[in-house]
Amino acid sequence: MTNDRKIDGDSKNKQLETFRVNDHEHAMTTNQGLKVSEDEHSLKAGTRGPTLMEDFHFREKMTHFDHERIPERVVHARGYAAHGEFELYESMKKYTKAGFLQEPGSKTPVFTRFSTVAGSKGSAEAVRDVRGFAVKFYTEEGNYDLVGNNMPVFFIQDAIKFPDLVHAVKPEPHNEMPQAASAHDTFWDFVANNQESAHMVMWQMSDRAIPRSLRMMEGFGVHTYRFINDQGEAHFVKFHWKPKLGVHSLVWDEAQKINGKDPDFHRRDLWESIENGDFVEFELGVQLLEEKDEFAFDFDILDPTKIWPEEDIPVKIIGKMTLNRNVDNVFAETEQVAFHPGSVVPGIDFSNDPLLQGRLFSYTDTQLIRLGGPNFHELPINRPVCPFHNNQRDGYGRQTINVGQVSYHKNSLANNKPNTSTEEDGGFVHYQEKVEGRKIQARSDSFKDHFSQARLFWNSMSSAEKQHIINAFSFEVGKVKDMNVRQQVITMFANVDLEMVTEIAQNVGVKAPSDVEQSSVTKSSPALSQENKAKLPNTRKIAVLLADDFDDAALEPFLKASLDAGMSIDIVSETFGTLTGKNGATVDVDETLLTIHSVLYDALYVVGGQAKQQKKFEMDVVDFVNEAYMHFKPIASAPAAKHLMDQSNVKAGSGILMDFTVSRDGKQWVEAVAEHRFWDRKLYE
C-alpha cells in the first residue's frame, strides 16, 4: 500500500475499501496466511493429554483474543459513529483559506462520533450527561477534526482543572459508584467549590442533557477558534451544528426506564435510521467576529464557560453534513478513531482559550496510551486521504514501509526531501498574534463573572423547561448524602435565581438563602430554548396497538398518512405473527407487548381487537397508553378502542385524538407528532 495515490471525491470510502475484508468468502488461515485444518481442538499429547506449546495456531488465536480490548477512553468511552459527507453551501473564501470551505457544492468525506462523557464503555446511553459530537473531515489538505459537544460551554475555564472535574464526576473511588451519573457527593462538591461551572450546570440540568436522539441535538465547537484568509486576515469563529430534525429531548422518568429497557437506545436509533435510508442531516453554522470587536462584549469571548448569544452574533449557515453509512466494524472504526482539536488545515487556527490550549496537548497524549504508540494515524479510520511524508519512523504498529537511506532534516543525500512548503504552496503557518505579558499562573479578571450567562440561560427557558431544570436539580442534589454539600449548592445557585433555588431547597431539605443577591441580568436568548427549534414528524417512531379482528378501515388510511409524513411504524400486539382485520386486511406484527415498551416510541395509535388473552391484552395496552400519557406524548385512538381508552388515565386535551379518523384528524395527527410533547397536560388534577 502506498500513500502517494491520488484519491477522488469518494476518497475515504475508496481508501477504507482497501482494508475491508469479508472473511466469510475465504478459507480460514493464520494471521500469516497459512491455511488452517483444525479450529476446534488444540494439539495434545494424546486425546486426554496436556496441550502442547507447539500448537502455534492455538497460541496465535488465544493471544489475539487476550489482547482484543484496548483501554477505553477515560471520558467519551461510550460512543457510536457513522460515515458521511459534508457539502458546502457558500464559499468562506472571504474568511478562511481552508480548501474544503472554498467551492460551493464541494463535498468532503466525514466520520462523526457521538458519545456520552461520564460513563464507561458498557454504560447505558439515555443518561443525564453531556454528549460528545466529534467530526473528522478528510480534506485534500489533511484531516480536520472539529471536536465538540452538544452543549456550547464547559464546566471549567482552564484545562489544568480537567482531571479534577473528571475525578469528581466519575464513580467515587471508595465504592466505584454510581456509574454514568453525576448525582453524587463528589460531583456536586466540585460544583459548589468551583463556581465557574454554574453556567454549564444549568445546561446539564436542562433537557439538553437527555436528548431524544443523537439525530436531534445540536453540536458546538465550544471554543473560540480563528479563520485566516489568504490575505492573512483573521476572524474569531465559533462552530455550530444544527440538526435538520430539530432539538428534542426525553422526559427524565422516561430516560431512566429506557436505560433498563434498551441501554443501546441512542446507537440503535442512529443505526436504524441510516439503515432505513433516513440519513442524518446537520447544517454547519459559524459565528464570526472581527478582531477589532474582541472586547466589545460584557463577557470574554475566549471564556469557554460563555456563549456568544446568537441574537448578538448571528449564526451563518454554510453547509450540511449528511451521515449516510454505518460503520462496518465498531472496534476498527468507532473505537480506534482518534480525534484531536489540533488536527487543523491552513486557514483554521486557535485562540488563547486556556481550556483549548490544554486540549491541544491532552488528545495526542491520550491516543498514545489508548492505541499503543505514535502510529495511530496509520489506522484506516484515521489515515488522511491525501499523501503524507515526513521523517518520523518506527514505533508500535508501524504500517508504512519507508524506503531509502535518509530520515532526517536537513539533508543533502536526498536533496533535502521531504522538504517544507511555503504558505503560498499550502504550508501551515501559525497566525502571528502579538503576545506580551509576564509568566504567571492566574486568570484574567474578564473570566470572573460566573452567573450572568447562567441567569441568561434561565431567563431563556419556557415554563416547562424551567420546571424540568428544578426537577433535575432536586433529583441530583437529593442524591447527595452530605447535607453541607447540598446547602453549598443551593447557596451557589441562588446567584442565578432565588425562586428556582427556593423550590429546590424545599425538595432537598435545606434552607434557601436570604442573603445572596441573584444576578440582575434580564436579557434572554430565544435561541437557547428547545421550544423554538424546528418541529417535524420525520422519522418519529409510532406504536400501533392492535389484535386480531381489528378495524382495518381505521388502520389502513392511518398507516398511509403516517408513512407519507415520514414516520416509522411498528405494529405491536399480543404475540408475533400475522393479524387479520374485520374486512380481511392482514398485517405482520413487529413487536409484542412483552418485547417492547411505551418509552421506546414517540407516539401511539390504539386500534384494539380480539386477543387470545383479551383481559391481559387490554391491561397491557392500558399500561402502554398510561405511560405515554404521563410522558406528554401524542396519542390517537380509533373509535373501536373507546373501551380501552376509558380504562386509561387519558383525558381530553392537546395531543389527544380520540375517535380518530384520517379524513377528519389527519393533519392534526401529523402536527401532534411533530410537536413531540404537550407540556400543558395536567397529570395530577
**Residue 51: per-residue pLDDT:** 87
Q: Are residues 554 and 598 in the same domain?
A: yes
CATH code at position 543: 3.40.50.880
Q: Are residues 214 and 300 in the same domain?
A: yes
Highest mean pLDDT among 28-42, 56-70, 137-151: 137-151
C-alpha cell at 292: 477589532
255 lies in a domain?
yes
Q: Are residues 527 and 579 in the same domain?
A: no
Q: How far apart are CA 557 and CA 55, in angstroms?
A: 65
CATH code at position 89: 2.40.180.10
Q: Are residues 135 and 280 in the same domain?
A: yes
Q: Are residues 480 and 542 in the same domain?
A: no
Q: Are residues 480 and 590 in the same domain?
A: no
Q: Are residues 518 and 594 in the same domain?
A: no
Q: Of 347, 378, 409, which residue sits at a domain end?
A: 378
Select from 508, 529, 359 the least CA-distant residue to 459.
529
- Name the helix (H) or strand (E) containing 483: helix 483-493
Mean pLDDT of 312-329: 98
- Is 389 a residue of the active site? no
> Pairing relation of β-strands 107-116 and 316-326?
unpaired
CATH code at position 467: 1.20.1370.20
> Pairing relation of β-strands 603-608 and 541-546?
parallel
Q: Are residues 367 and 347 in the same domain?
A: yes
**pLDDT tens for each residue of 367-423:** 999 999 999 999 999 999 988 888 889 988 898 888 999 888 888 998 988 888 888
**Residue 2: per-residue pLDDT:** 37
**pLDDT tens for each residue of 209-263:** 999 999 999 999 999 999 999 999 999 999 999 999 999 999 999 999 999 999 9
**Residue 4: per-residue pLDDT:** 43
What percent of the chain is modeled with pLDDT above 90? Answer: 81
The runs of H, that is alpha helices, within 527-571 are 552-564
Mean pLDDT of 296-321: 97
* Sequence-distant (≥ 6) Cβ neighbours of residue 88 within 8 angstroms: 100, 101, 102, 103, 104, 105, 106, 107, 108, 318, 319
Q: How far apart are CA 194 and CA 199, in angstroms?
A: 11
Domain residue limits at 162:
79-378
Query: Which one from 57, 76, 235, 450 is the annotated catalytic residue?
Result: 76
Would you place residue 6 in the very low, low, confident or very high pLDDT band (cuts 50, 70, 90)? very low
**Residue 270: per-residue pLDDT:** 98
Mean pLDDT of 269-298: 97
Mean pLDDT of 43-54: 89
Q: Is pLDDT at 3 greater than 50 in this prediction? A: no
- Is 143 a residue of the active site? no
**pLDDT tens for each residue of 503-513:** 999 999 999 99
Q: Of 378, 398, 429, which residue sits at a domain end?
A: 378
Mean pLDDT of 579-591: 96
**Residue 436: per-residue pLDDT:** 85
Query: Which one from 57, 83, 149, 248 is the annotated catalytic residue?
Result: 149
Q: How far apart are CA 400 and CA 418, in angstroms?
A: 15
Q: Is pLDDT at 685 greater than 80 in this prediction? A: no
* Sequence-distant (≥ 6) Cβ neighbours of residue 595 within 8 angstroms: none
**Residue 9: per-residue pLDDT:** 52
383 lies in a domain?
no
Mean pLDDT of 269-282: 98
The structural domain count of the chain equals 3
433 lies in a domain?
no
Q: Are residues 509 and 611 in the same domain?
A: no
Q: Is pLDDT at 5 greater than 50 in this prediction? A: no
Q: Are residues 134 and 183 in the same domain?
A: yes
Q: Is pLDDT at 66 greater than 50 in this prediction? A: yes
Q: Are residues 247 and 366 in the same domain?
A: yes
415 lies in a domain?
no
Mean pLDDT of 288-297: 97
481 lies in a domain?
yes
Distances (CA, A) of 530 to 100, 319, 533, 675: 31, 22, 5, 11
329 lies in a domain?
yes
**Residue 16: per-residue pLDDT:** 79
Q: Is pLDDT at 39 greater than 80 in this prediction? A: yes
Q: Are residues 479 and 540 in the same domain?
A: no
Surface-to-core class of residue 392, CB atoms within 10 Å of its CB (0-12 exposed, 13-18 middle, 19+ buried): middle
**pLDDT tens for each residue of 133-189:** 999 999 999 999 999 999 999 999 999 999 999 999 999 999 999 999 999 999 999
554 lies in a domain?
yes
Q: Concatenate the DSSP letters of all residues of 484-510 into one string.
A: HHHHHHHHHHTTT-HHHHHHHHHHHTS
Q: Of 531, 554, 574, which residue sits at a domain end?
A: 531
228 lies in a domain?
yes
**pLDDT tens for each residue of 545-557:** 999 999 999 999 9
